[in-house]
C-alpha cells in the first residue's frame, strides 16, 4: 500500500489563468493551457498573498522553464 503525501482538489479551468513569458511580451489568458500538445510536466505549490502575486511567480517560472504556466488555486485554501 502506498502512503499519500497529501491531497487537495482544484477548481475547474474557469478559475485558472495561463501565463506565457517565453517571448519579449508576457501573454496572459483566462482558462487552462489550451493546446492539446501541451502537457503537465511538473507543478509547484506556492503560497502567495494574492492572485496577482501568484501571477508574478508564474511569469518568472514561465521564463525559467521556457513553458506556459497555468495558475490555479487549490480548493479550500483560496476560496
How many domains are there within the chain?
A: 1
1 is a domain residue: no
Structural domain includes residue 62: yes
Q: pLDDT means per 10 residues in the chain (79 residues)?
A: 76 88 94 71 87 94 93 76
Domain interval for residue 63:
10-34+46-79
Give a yes or no: residue 41 inside a domain. Answer: no
Instruction: Work out the burial of residue 66: count CB atoms within 10 Å of its CB; fewer than 13 is exposed, 13-18 middle, 19 or more buried.
Output: exposed
In a domain, 56, yes or no: yes
**pLDDT value at position 26?**
97
Is 69 domain-assigned? yes
Please, which residues have CB within 8 angstroms of residue 61's CB and are 6 or more apart in sequence?
Answer: 19, 44, 69
Burial, 62: exposed, middle or buried (Cβ in 10 Å; 0-12, 13-18, 19+)?
Answer: buried
Block residue for cell numbers 501573454: 27
pTM: 0.76
Amino acid at each position: 500500500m502506498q502512503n499519500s503525501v497529501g491531497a487537495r482538489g482544484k477548481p475547474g479551468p474557469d478559475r485558472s489563468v495561463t501565463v506565457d513569458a517565453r517571448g519579449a511580451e508576457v501573454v496572459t489568458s483566462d482558462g487552462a493551457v489550451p493546446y492539446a500538445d501541451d502537457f503537465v510536466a511538473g507543478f509547484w505549490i506556492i503560497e502567495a498573498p494574492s492572485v496577482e502575486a501568484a501571477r508574478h511567480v508564474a511569469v518568472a517560472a514561465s521564463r525559467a522553464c521556457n513553458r506556459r504556466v497555468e495558475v490555479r488555486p487549490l480548493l479550500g485554501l483560496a476560496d
